[in-house]
Every structure is written in structure tokens, then in C-alpha cells.
Structure 1
Amino acid sequence: MFGSAKRRIRSTDRSGGITVLALPTLLRSPGELTALVPSWRALVAATPGTSYFTTPDWVLGWTESLGREQAGRAVVAVWRAEDGAAEAVVPLLRTRERLHPRLPGGVLSWTLLGTGPGAADHCGFAVDPRRHQDVRAWLASLARRRTMLFPHLDAGTGDPFLPPGAREIERTACPVMPADPAALGSARHRQGVRRKARKLAEDGITFTWVAPDATTPELFDDLLRLHRLRREAIGGSSAFDATRRPLHAALAARAAADRGPCALVARDPAGRPVGVLYGFLWQDTFAYYQLGWDPAYAKASLGTVLFHETLTALAARGVRTFDFLRGAEEFKHRFGAVDRYDTTWLVARGAGGALLGAKSAARRVRNRRLRPVRGEA
């Protein structure tokens, strides 16, 4: 289907000139992918604008856990330099996109490996500028034969490689703010939060930063328990449950001191966790993923204080950006965040692709009719 790495793509530009572009090596086996990890991670770190969700830690952690049943349909395309170092990595999954949860089968499509359950944002590819043309041409050659659905792409690391004919079908707000407690809302708001923090400290509540290399699956269990308690107290359901544990255990296993899942934990005087704010550290950005806290501390505004204490801990460690990820909940903007956007793109091929396009159009109409969901701290 793909051809060998020794073949080339012949691309004709508008003036009629022909450019010969290199095809990638295609990796599928766990051993090949494990050997690629150091070079892949170094490439992601050297590529401006990449997120934790483009690292091998996330992509392979997802493949080994939530994506385990589909792992046989995964392929990682790699372009290498003469010394063997990765110059571009494009992880893809051949899957069936469901038209409706109650309908069997689906539309055979290419999508990004590591997306789907687990909620990856700012998706894209780590590509050295010298390989941009190669990656664009290769993805365009795949798109001539099959539908592609690329969710939640970052404008800088995903959009430049879209095949011809790609159509934007969703635009998602992902608010961000400086990782600085001095940027948390208005001056009056910050004063109130500091007062609440002092009162919690007087009551024996302590706050501890848990670095990525110290994060354990047991901490994730505490987060799940507290998140469930909070959801039960306010009503409503959440897709964040124990089915996500294998993914986060896999991410913790790949973590190092400067990257991976981490948390700010609040403990009561007996040392029991009563609040956990959890996310991912990658370079100078913390990506906020989930929050849980004991409803007994609602009047003390423990949720808001957790954000304040997290920002304080991040600033002390030189982190510059607090990324709220997907969702334009009101509290994020109240805290001082401003929107950036991810986009989802569809390259429709055949009747199946047309049906996916109709599904996305129906979803947009439905979403416009729904009132915005108000978030909470």
C-alpha cells in the first residue's frame, strides 16, 4: 500500500517543474517503535509549538492502553537523516469512524495515532523544515485513496501538512494563560484567593507539588475518587472514570523529572488527599487535564485555591504557560485565560466520507442550539 522507503514521490508544481520527494520508512512493531523513542522525543523537543500530545510518551502510551485493540492498524512513518536521526515522524491509525454509536462498522479512515478516547489536544507532527515537502506529499498521496479525519490539530504543527481538499469541520477553543499566580483573574479575585489559602493553611491543609517522576497510579486513583465525589455533589456525569487508568499508568511509566503527568495535591491534617489538580508537563508548558476535590471544602473554595497553588508551584519551576486544553468554560476566562484554537479536518473520499461530512454538519447545528456549558473550579 505504501511502497518502500527507497522509492520516491514525484510532485509537479504549478510551473510544471518536477520535484522528487522521499518516502518514509514505516514502523509497526513494538521493538522498532521503542528504538525510535529517543530520536522521536528529541525531534519533538526541537520542533517549535509541539505539545505533550505529540511526544512518543503520549502516542505510544495511548497505543499500549486505550488503543491496544487497534495497535495492529497503527503505523509510524519516519524520515531520517544520514546519521539515522529522525527528521520527521507521522504516527497514523487506520480505523473505522463510527457514524452513530448504535450503528455497526463505520467509515474506513486514516486518523492520528493517539487521538480518540483520552482527549488529546494540540495534535500535529514533529517535522524538520527540510522534510515539510516530503510529509505534505506523502499525506496527499494517502488521501487520494482514503478518507482522512485529523482531530484537534494545532495550527503550527498540524495544519501545514493537510492534504489538498481538507475541510475544517470543527473549531475548538483551548484557553491559555501565563503560569503565574499574579495573572489569576482580577486583583480583587487574587486577594480573595490568597485569603482562602491562608484560612485553609490555618485549618491544617497542606499543598504539595508532585513532579512527573514521582507520579504514581495511586495518585491517579485519588484524583478519580475526588473527581467522582465532586461530580456527585453537583450532579451530572463524566467520561473521566477508571477506564482511563491504564493510559495514565502508561504515561507515568514513561515520565521523567521534566516531562509527563504531574499534580498539585492538597492534604488534610491526617495526610489524606482532599484535592488533586492533574496535568502534563512538557518543556515550558503545563497542560491542565483534570481536577478533583472533596465537596466538604466547597465553602473554602478549595478548587480555586488549587489553581492558585499550582500556578505558584509552576512559576517557581520556570514553567511559563498554563494551558487549560479543550473547552471554553466560563471559569477559565474568569481566571484570565485567552482562547487559542484547535481545528478538526476531514478529507472526504467516496460515499463514506460524504456521510462523515454530513455527520459533522449535523453536530455543528446541534451544538449551536445548545447553551454553553458553564464550568467550575
Structure 2
Amino acid sequence: MTPLSVRSESFDSIEVEWEQLLPETAADTIFITPWWQRLWLEHYGQEADLHILSVRQGEVLIGIAPLMLTNGVLSFLGDTDLFDYHDFLVRKGREVEFYNALCEYLVGMEWHTLELKSLRESSPALVHLKALAEQKGFRTEIVEEDVSPYAVLTPTWDEYQGSMRKKDRHELRRKLRRLDAADNARQYSCDDPLTLAEHMPDFFRLMRASSHDKDEFLTEDRELFFKDMAVRLAEKGIFKLFFLEVGNVRVASCIVFDYGDAYLLYNSGYDPEYSSLSVGLLNKALCLREAVEKGRSCFDFLRGPERYKYDLGGRNQTVYQITIRR
């Protein structure tokens, strides 16, 4: 059998294979795509010391480790501010071979800490890396980093509401009736890459208005990232910018990614002056309804334990961090 080899790659040299491999892995999500990671590199990673490693059997690609080195700390490419998930890309069924080869290669690199954040509870890395690192005498720690609620969708909206807790179902229906009675209430999405730029300022306005934390988060650099991300993902048919209007005024907004068989709720905002109509919650509920109607199987609320996620039927998924020290 041909032995496995590990190679250091440039982003350009591996990008096409990366995109082809991702659907064959357990890591398949928008944040692990080469488009998302390239976007982050262009905005924040100009000085990053990249270590993009490919594991191959002959010329067959088994997996990719998208890493960077900062002051002796080896980590995934990107940060937790803009990435909800990180992971290695490993062809399903080849995990044991991949992690063995990767660990042997990493032993020969110069680093003192391997810090791997934002791993979903389903990540094979949680099992394989810990065991291999401990075999080599490294100190290993796995901690809960966050939660990332998600909803399993049903074939119809009525069935989905029926799966919710009785109190939550009653409250949602009551709030939807109240919104229906409001002045010319409607929700719609903007996803044309040629016109998105004219809609993003309203999204930023609503995001800033909804909380002090979001206002602080939305720096000029992050606004530029969001604008660039919106156009690039819209060109791929993945990006949706939803608005809820009442009386011809945009009162709530959210960014959703339509990726694979899931809708992912990335960020949102609303006008507190319309809180009596629960516009922030209902804008998200209507996005969830659209995901059901389009036949998606999952609605991923992404990171954070905000109450509305559970009010809309979310269940917890834990996100972990592995730290390995020499």
C-alpha cells in the first residue's frame, strides 16, 4: 500500500482540491470553505504565517489541515469573531490515517501550543487528536467553548410548530397574529450581488441599534468584511439578506446562509422601537419557516445561548476547544 505523505501547500495550489474535498468530509460547513477562509485572509491575514498541510496517499487527497502559526501557537486559520466553526477536512473513513500522519508531521514542527477552537461536538478531531497527543506525552485539555443551538426541521411548518414546546408554540402563533394585524407587515430577502451594496447600510443600522455589544462588534473593518462576504456568497447563491418591514419601514434584518441542506443564521439586528411587535424574533421565525418550506433539514442558529433560539425550537450542540502543549 502506498504510504501517506504530508505536504505544505500554498492557498492557491490547494484551493480547487479543497473545494472538491469538503463535501466528502464531516466538516462540511460554510466556514470551512476555501472561499470563506480566503476572504478572512484577504481582510485579516496578510501577515499570517500559514501552514496549510495536505495529507495524501500518492496523489489522492485524504485531508487538509488549514493552520497558522503565531508566536509559537499553532491554530486554525481565522478567528472566532467571524468563524462559528473550525475543523480539519478529512475524507470520511480515513480519519485514523489522516490524524496519525498529521501528528507525526506536527511533531517535527516548531510550536509550543496547539490551540484548536470551535470544534463541533461531532468532530472526529475530538477523539483522534487527544489520544494521539497523549501517546506522545503531550498535555491535552478539551474544554467546552460555547453552545451552538440548531433545529431539526420537519416536512411542513405546521409539523414544526407542533414539535415545539406548547408554551413556545402558543407564544409564536400569538405574536405572528399580532404582526399580521400590523400596518403592511412583510418579509423579503435581498440576494442579488449587483444590488446588495445598497441594502447593507440598513442591515448595519439595525444591527447597531439592537444592542451595545453588536454596535461595538461592528467596527469599520468588520463592516468591510461583511460587505465583501455578502457579494461573494451571493454570487454563489448562498447569501440571503432578510428584512422585515412594518408600515414600509425596515424594522428587522438578518443574514442567512443557504448552504447544503441547512439555513445558517449568521447575524441579525432590529429596531428596539418596534419591540412590542417582537420584530427581531419574528424575522428569524419567518426565516425558519422558509427553510422548512424549501425542504431544508436543519436550521443552525450558530454560536451563543440567546433565549430566542430556544423559544424557536433550538436544541444545544456543544462547541469545544482542544489545547495541546508540549
TM-score in terms of structure 1 length: 0.72
Distance 1:316 1:214 in 2: 26
Query: Once the two structures are superposed, what CA deviation does each residue of 1:232-287 show, in whole Å capped at 9, x if it has no partner?
Result: 5xx886423332123323433432576543222123554x5332111323201122
- Cross-structure match for 2:242: 264
Letter in 1 for 2:103: A
Letter in 2 for 1:159: L
Structure 1 residue 89 corresponds to structure 2 residue 64: yes
Cα drift, residue 193 of structure 1: 2.6
- Cross-structure match for 1:125: 88
Distance 2:57 2:200 in 1: 39
- Cross-structure match for 1:216: 196
Of 143, 168, 185, 1:205 maps to 185
Distance 1:253 1:264 in 2: 15
Cα drift, residue 230 of structure 1: 1.9
Cα drift, residue 189 of structure 1: 1.6
Shift of the 207–237 alpha-carbon distance from structure 1 to 2, 3 Å rule, reads closer
Once the two structures are superposed, the pairs formed by residues 96-111 of structure 1 within 5 Å of their partners are: 96=71, 108-111=72-75
Shift of the 80–137 alpha-carbon distance from structure 1 to 2, 3 Å rule, reads closer
Cα drift, residue 290 of structure 1: 1.3
Higher mean C-alpha deviation, range 214-223 or range 244-253? 214-223
Contact 1:260 1:280 in 2 (8 A): yes
Higher mean C-alpha deviation, range 161-170 or range 177-186? 177-186
- Cross-structure match for 1:103: none
Q: Number of residues paired by the alignment?
A: 307
- Cross-structure match for 2:4: 22
Structure 1 residue 75 corresponds to structure 2 residue 75: no
Kindly report structure 1 stretches of 4+ aligned residues shifted beyond 6 Å.
none
Distance 1:215 1:316 in 2: 26
Once the two structures are superposed, the pairs formed by residues 241-320 of structure 1 within 5 Å of their partners are: 241-255=219-233, 260-270=238-248, 273-320=250-297
- Cross-structure match for 2:126: 159
Contact 1:204 1:269 in 2 (8 A): yes
Contact 1:217 1:248 in 2 (8 A): no
Cα drift, residue 131 of structure 1: 4.0
Contact 2:210 2:271 in 1 (8 A): yes
Of 18, 21, 44, 1:66 maps to 44
Shift of the 187–170 alpha-carbon distance from structure 1 to 2, 3 Å rule, reads closer
Contact 2:62 2:98 in 1 (8 A): no
Query: Once the two structures are superposed, what CA deviation does each residue of 1:6-65 show, in whole Å capped at 9, x if it has no partner?
Result: xxxxxxxxxxxxx9842223222x542xxx333312211222352211111221111111
- Cross-structure match for 2:178: 196
Distance 2:220 2:69 in 1: 26
Distance 2:245 2:278 in 1: 15
- Three-state SS of the structure 2 residue aligned to 1:152 is strand
Cα drift, residue 229 of structure 1: 1.4
Distance 2:267 2:149 in 1: 15
Cα drift, residue 340 of structure 1: 0.8
Distance 1:289 1:154 in 2: 16
- Percent identity, please: 20
Cα drift, residue 168 of structure 1: 0.8
- Three-state SS of the structure 2 residue aligned to 1:164 is helix
Distance 2:201 2:6 in 1: 40
Structure 1 residue 46 corresponds to structure 2 residue 46: no
Letter in 2 for 1:56: P
- Cross-structure match for 1:136: 99
- Three-state SS of the structure 2 residue aligned to 1:65 is helix
Distance 2:197 2:127 in 1: 37
Unaligned runs of 5+ in 2: 135-139
Shift of the 21–109 alpha-carbon distance from structure 1 to 2, 3 Å rule, reads farther
Letter in 2 for 1:65: H
Distance 2:281 2:180 in 1: 13
- Cross-structure match for 2:137: none
Query: Once the two structures are superposed, what CA deviation does each residue of 1:103-142 show, in whole Å capped at 9, x if it has no partner?
Result: xxxxx21000123432x22321221146424431243231
Letter in 2 for 1:60: R
Give the superposed CA RMSD.
2.9
- Cross-structure match for 1:357: none
Shift of the 68–223 alpha-carbon distance from structure 1 to 2, 3 Å rule, reads farther
- Cross-structure match for 1:343: 320
Higher mean C-alpha deviation, range 318-327 or range 273-282? 273-282
Unaligned runs of 5+ in 1: 1-18, 97-107, 350-377
Shift of the 289–69 alpha-carbon distance from structure 1 to 2, 3 Å rule, reads same
